A = this chain, B = another copy of it.
Amino acid sequence: MRPALSPLEALEGLDATEKADIDRILETLVYLYSESRRVTKEVARQHGLTGPQVTALKMLEGFGDLSLSDLSARMSATNSTVTGIADRMVRDGLVERVRSERDRRVILIRLTDRGSALAAQIPVESMSVFAAALRSLQARDRRELTRILRVLSDRVADLVAEGGPPEAEARTEAQANAETEAEGKP
């Protein structure tokens, strides 16, 4: 199917086909990811909300009251980001802030009646297009995908963990060589 390696490629351990494959995979993933986000945002907008606001509503609907930290963790965002989102949702009457009795440092985010009603009204969750597409996959392919993604995420976790400064591992030998004298910043 694919042409044999040229001598140069063989010497350098490079493979143009491999690079093209990887670029294609990355491009497709970025497409899938950003398209899913775009659709979610569009759906949210039809209800007068933003994407992250829908995510928060659904989290609170599913789990009940959540501390701001818990909500942040479930939304994969930082506390400072979610503080702002909560601010706007309070402003719009979707949630309220309640001080925890157990630990007075904790602020619980709670749905208001209006927030609950809206959450019940909105059928979708984050990444709904993506989920729909996954649902249409053959079970076998879905299992394959799960397995491969597992491998990838383990590998990424390793790469990130190993090199404290996450610069030394994510590149080819050629790039590493070209960089040996390029340290420091203007």
Assuming the A-B contacts A129-B156, A137-B151, A182-B27, are A170 and B32 also in contact, with contact meaning beta carbons closer than 8 angstroms in the complex?
no
Q: Answer yes or no: A99 CB below 8 A from chain B CBs.
A: no
- Interface residues in A142-186 by Cβ distance below 8 A to B read 142-146, 148-153, 155-156, 159-160, 164-172, 175-176, 178-179, 182, 185-186
**In the bound complex, do residue B164 and residue A134 qualify as a contact, i.e. CB atoms below 8 Å apart?**
no
Cα(A109)–Cα(B144), bound, Å: 43
Would A24 and B182 count as touching, CB distance under 8 A? yes
Among B144, B148, B178, B182, the residue within 8 A (CB) of A137 is: B148
Q: Which of A83-91, A100-108, A119-127 contacts B (4 or more CB under 8 A)?
A: A119-127
| Chain B residues, CB < 8 A from A160 | 35, 39, 129
Residue on B nearest A126 in the bound complex, by CB: B26
A131 interfacial contact with B, CB 8 Å = yes
A9 at the interface (CB under 8 A from B): no
In the assembled complex, the CB of A65 is this many whole angstroms from the nearest CB of chain B, namely 22
Central interface residue in A25, A26, A165, A175, by most chain B CB within 10 Å: A165
28 A-B residue pairs with Cβ-Cβ distance under 8 Å, sorted by A, are A18-B135, A18-B142, A29-B33, A30-B127, A31-B179, A32-B149, A32-B156, A34-B76, A35-B156, A35-B175, A35-B178, A36-B156, A39-B160, A42-B166, A46-B167, A48-B186, A123-B166, A123-B167, A123-B171, A123-B175, A124-B168, A131-B165, A132-B155, A132-B159, A132-B170, A132-B171, A133-B159, A137-B148
